[in-house]
Amino acid sequence: MASGFFALLDDIAALMDDVAVMSKIATKKTAGILGDDLAVNAEKASGFMSDREIPVLWAITKGSFLNKLIILPFAFLLSAFLPAAITIILVLGGIYLAYEGAEKILEFLGVLKHHEKKDLDMDMTNEEILALEKDRVKAAIVTDFILSVEIVIIALGTVTEKEISVQIMVVTFIAILATIGVYGIVALIVRMDEFGLKLINLNESEDSFSDKVGHLLVNALPWVIKTLAVVGTIALLLVAGGIFVHNIHWLHDHFNMVPGMVKEFIVGLVFGAITVLFVQIFKKLFKKKK
């Protein structure tokens, strides 16, 4: 009886060790998308009234948890009964990520028009502000859903050869980490300026250490969000390129001489630019038919 109990403990320890190792690998694989998720949500959660930033972020966080609850069971069912679908979803998701990254770069270069973003206006009524807030939350949750699918599928792709128990624990851990980690950091970022103002108002001196730190935090917020947007765009193309290179054998076999990250970035950008071109053509044809 005792030997059976210790054997069970040994099996559990081995399983948890396997889960820990695979979770580390899966976290590395999904880091690029997590970076973009962080950049996207930091931008979407900022620009509100100070007292509305946290409620807006909490609404998006709850939507993100709901997204994961919907996605995870379907992902495990596909892995168990139709594993080939995982690769197809990965590639389709890669096309979307490449499109997003290339579109941002083409907008920055002036090749495409920037998407119009409706900002808060001091003349808006409370009803208009709440409507805008609701629209932004909805848009953020939709974006989170797409990114969550990719996070879950990429994480699942690292453990497809493991038993289902390991798959469930690893992918669920990554999904929870993605939500808590991303939105926790976003909360800290969007409150940087408020914390800075509190430091500035901490004493009446105009040149104190707290004033300097406070001004630094207030002035740094826009730059932090811009930097995250740039890093997120690069991460999108690297993740997309990595998906294509590792799942399309022709690309993997014919570009061995190109360094890994350079190859993934170029492949992601090329696929993204082609997708942008097709989308633009489709939009023009659809407008003509209208």
Q: Distance between CA 141 and CA 61 in Å, rounded?
A: 8
Cα angle value 242/87/38 (rounded, 5°) = 50
pLDDT tens digits for range 191-246:
787 778 887 777 777 777 777 778 888 888 778 878 877 877 887 788 788 888 87
Give the pLDDT score at 241: 84
Q: How is residue 285 written in tokens? A: 């044809």
Instruction: Report which residue type is found at 149.
Output: V
- Work out the percent of the chain whose per-residue pLDDT is above 70: 73
Average pLDDT, the chain: 75
Is the pLDDT confidence value at 184 over 60? yes
pLDDT tens digits for range 65-93:
899 999 889 888 888 888 888 788 888 88
Q: Distance between CA 115 and CA 111 in Å, rounded?
A: 13
Give the pLDDT score at 48: 63
Q: Distance between CA 211 and CA 140 in Å, rounded?
A: 34
CB crowding 239-274: b at 16 or more within 10 Å, else e? bbbbbbbbbeeebeeebeeeeeeebbbebbbebbbe
- Work out the percent of the chain whose per-residue pLDDT is above 90: 3
Higher pLDDT, residue 57 or 251: 57
